[in-house]
Structure 1
Amino acid sequence: IRDISVIETPPEERLPVITRVIKTDEEIKNALMKELERGGQVYFLHNKVEDIESVAESVRKLVPHARLGIAHGQMTAEGMESVLYSFYQGELDILVCTTIVENGIDIANANTIIINNAAHFGLAQVYQLKGRVGRSRRRGYCYMLVPSMTSINEIARKRLKIIQQLSDLGSGVKIAFYDLQLRGAGDLLGADQSGFMVKIGYELFLQMIEEAVKELKGELNNSRETEVASALPYFISAEYIEDVSLRFDYYRRFSKIQSEKDMRALLDDLTQVYGEMRPETENLGWIMLMKNIAGKAYAEKLAIHTGRVRITFDKDTPVSPAKLVEVLSEAKAVYKFENENSLVLYFEKKDNFLEKTCEILSELIEE
């Protein structure tokens, strides 16, 4: 639905990380010694907490003179902070750790990472881990440790080959596409999910995703999700726009309109590209606009029939009864209160009742 922007220019003086597969203790020792001899530090990544102590002891035997620390997610916050701070200050030479260092760690002097059992990791994760080193002017090294190439499956071998070949700076997007090929695409809109998008409708599905993202970002929501029940058809037919992806894109754009100007511009765009506007698609424009405006008035539900619209407000609506009566009087609307939260508007056949309802709702939310 959205285009992709790719940043291909690396930071100044940044060098690509060299990636290699290693198999033996001797190769591990050489990698450790190479980094320590140039005054650097090493991440040794082992992603099993159960035996991380024994692995750390094996590493210690390879380089007895090195100062070594351990970090994993089951440590106390104070213990973790102490170890990472010591590593950051250069008081430790080697940090034996889990993938807890995958994000948020930026230590310029740590320029070698050894990933134990690298065949168990996905492409994107190895690429992310590789990004922990080579974050300064000094060359970084990523060693992927595997018992033997014959002991791992074909997919794992392909992953290791790809991560070695794509070592240039800015290769992240290429890695992502290869990962997509190896693992297969997801099915956000299809039946392979645990729920079915068709049961709730595409427009509501997009709205739910957008709200979830806003919630994670901590953004305030000053509107309500308004349910629409309409006796009028409102959709874009396959005969009008044959291409499914284009049709979905227009649904997305209709779901976001906030003003009559935006809505009319979108209808004009459709008319210019696909010909004469169909009634059900024009209804879609007005009903989506009505729904979005009604949400700002804290309307829970819109029930739309020819010449009649029922609006049910949330009990916490910011629209006061006095403001509601004032707007309805100025609009010379015919209406009836069914109860304290429900209002029915009545219109004559000659009226464009969808447009008039949008106008009334717009007046209600004006400061």
Structure 2
Amino acid sequence: MVPRIEDMAALSEKLQRIVPGLKLVEAHGKMPAAQIDEVMVGFADGVGDILLATNIIEAGLDVKRANTMIVWRADRFGLAQLHQLRGRVGRGNRRGQVVLLTQAEGGIAERTLKQLRTLATFDRLGAGFEISARDLDMRGAGDMLGDTQAGHMKLIGVELYQHLLELALRQVRGEDVDRWTPDLNMGSPGALPASWIPEADVRLGLYVRLARLADAAALEGFEAELLDRFGPLPAEAESLLARARLRLSARTARVGRVDAGAAAIALTLRKDFAGDTAKAGLMEKDGRFLLIEATEDADRFDLVHALLETLVAAGTGSREPMARKVV
């Protein structure tokens, strides 16, 4: 086992000199997937005496004939990786052996030596939890919301990370977390065009914020911000916001899917729908509720919005309609 693909050539030559009578096969991440499968399946079936590979084999493989593993430069692997790797040997009826090779101790950081010693100490079956606990002690629990966070928060953004964390905590506390988004199958999906907002990261941030808006007031404020920052909305942005309004209405009405075409509008209702479809003039067919009415593309968003608002009013009796907007 080697940490890098570039380590394989020199080590392959050395192994062939040391054990010229044994057949060597190789596997690494730059090989085509079909070739990797062929090598691994063949090795499991007895083709080859030595498998020289990178850590692509660290999980999910069951080679019962493999009983010895030598990890070259073990100090370049993480503790979790080494624990996974040693689980690839000894899966048959013969005891597995793992040999970790490193540089002289003087060339290895103290933290790395502690990790290797941890692996040597916890060498029994089921030691994964103890290894994880020791790794937590050595590396620390991390900084979930601070500037030093190096994990998911920097990847997805502070606000979204906190939003997901809040939802997870509410679920743990047993609160009802209503996470679903209506599916709209109608017209153009809309967009924030690059010609209007050139910066890709700014557009991405705005898309994320738009997806998380929960009421009409927040959506109106979002639109006002767009107008103030970037000027008049192009047609694609108008369409995007119109769909956002429809999603809010559909969610309030407990409508899971809207299909709208030139001849009719079809609504798929959720199980918790409590409105009166008769007041909206809908007829049921094949599990969906239909409004048979011909519409032009320019009028369809407005008609669907009015229909959803009728369902909201029929279901609550007191909810004020959301602001309508023709696209």
**Fold shared by both chains (TM-score > 0.5):** yes
Structure 1 range deviating more: 76-85 or 198-207: 198-207
Q: How far has the Cα of 1:83 moved from its partner?
A: 1.9
In 2, the alpha carbon distance for the partners of 1:296 and 1:78 equals 40
Instruction: Determine the structure 2 residue equivalent to 1:325.
Output: 310
State the secondary structure of the residue aligned to 1:139: coil
Where does the alignment leave 5 or more consecutive residues of structure 1 unmatched? Answer: 1-44, 211-248, 259-291, 306-310, 342-367
1:301 matched to 2:257: no
In 2, the alpha carbon distance for the partners of 1:293 and 1:76 equals 39
- The change in CA–CA distance for 1:335 and 1:110 in structure 2 (over 3 A counts) is same
Q: How far does the alpha carbon of each residue in 1:145-200 deviate from its partner, in whole angstroms, 9 at most, with x for none?
A: 12323332222221221111100111001111111222232222333226689963
Determine which of 313, 326, 339 is the counterpart of 2:246. Answer: 313
In 2, the alpha carbon distance for the partners of 1:294 and 1:108 equals 45
Q: How far does the alpha carbon of each residue in 1:40-86 deviate from its partner, in whole angstroms, 9 at most, with x for none?
A: xxxxx012222412201211222221111111111233432332222
Instruction: Determine the structure 2 residue equivalent to 1:338.
Output: 323
Question: 2:60 is matched by which residue type in structure 1?
Answer: G
Q: How far does the alpha carbon of each residue in 1:241-300 deviate from its partner, in whole angstroms, 9 at most, with x for none?
A: xxxxxxxx458647x515xxxxxxxxxxxxxxxxxxxxxxxxxxxxxxxxx389569895
Q: How far has the Cα of 1:315 moved from its partner?
A: 8.4
- The change in CA–CA distance for 1:146 and 1:293 in structure 2 (over 3 A counts) is closer
In 1, the alpha carbon distance for the partners of 2:137 and 2:307 equals 60
Where does the alignment leave 5 or more consecutive residues of structure 2 unmatched? Answer: 185-210, 219-243, 251-257, 259-266, 268-303
Checking the alignment, whether the CA contact within 8 Å between 1:115 and 1:144 is kept in structure 2 is yes
Instruction: Determine the structure 2 residue equivalent to 1:67.
Output: 23
Whose relative contact order is higher, 1 or 2, with alpha carbons under 8 Å and at least 6 apart? Answer: 1
Q: How far has the Cα of 1:117 moved from its partner?
A: 0.6
- The change in CA–CA distance for 1:47 and 1:326 in structure 2 (over 3 A counts) is closer
Determine which of 138, 141, 147 is the counterpart of 2:103. Answer: 147
Percent identity among equivalent residues? 31
TM-score calculated relative to the size of structure 2? 0.57
Q: How far does the alpha carbon of each residue in 1:103-132 deviate from its partner, in whole angstroms, 9 at most, with x for none?
A: 221100101110001112121111111111
Instruction: Determine the structure 1 residue equivalent to 2:231.
Output: none
Determine which of 189, 197, 205 is the counterpart of 2:164. Answer: 205
State the secondary structure of the residue aligned to 1:147: coil
TM-score calculated relative to the size of structure 1? 0.51
- The change in CA–CA distance for 1:329 and 1:80 in structure 2 (over 3 A counts) is closer
State the secondary structure of the residue aligned to 1:339: coil
In 2, the alpha carbon distance for the partners of 1:294 and 1:107 equals 43
Aligned length: 220
In 1, the alpha carbon distance for the partners of 2:315 and 2:26 equals 73
Q: How far has the Cα of 1:144 moved from its partner?
A: 0.3
State the secondary structure of the residue aligned to 2:323: strand
In 2, the alpha carbon distance for the partners of 1:48 and 1:297 equals 45
State the secondary structure of the residue aligned to 2:67: strand
Q: How far has the Cα of 1:94 moved from its partner?
A: 0.3
Checking the alignment, whether the CA contact within 8 Å between 1:68 and 1:95 is kept in structure 2 is yes
- After superposition, where does 1:1-367 map in structure 2 within 5 Å? 45-193=1-149, 200=159, 204-206=163-165, 249=169, 253=173, 256-257=175-176, 292=178, 300-303=213-216, 312-314=245-247, 317=250, 318=258, 321-322=306-307, 324-329=309-314, 331-333=316-318, 335-340=320-325
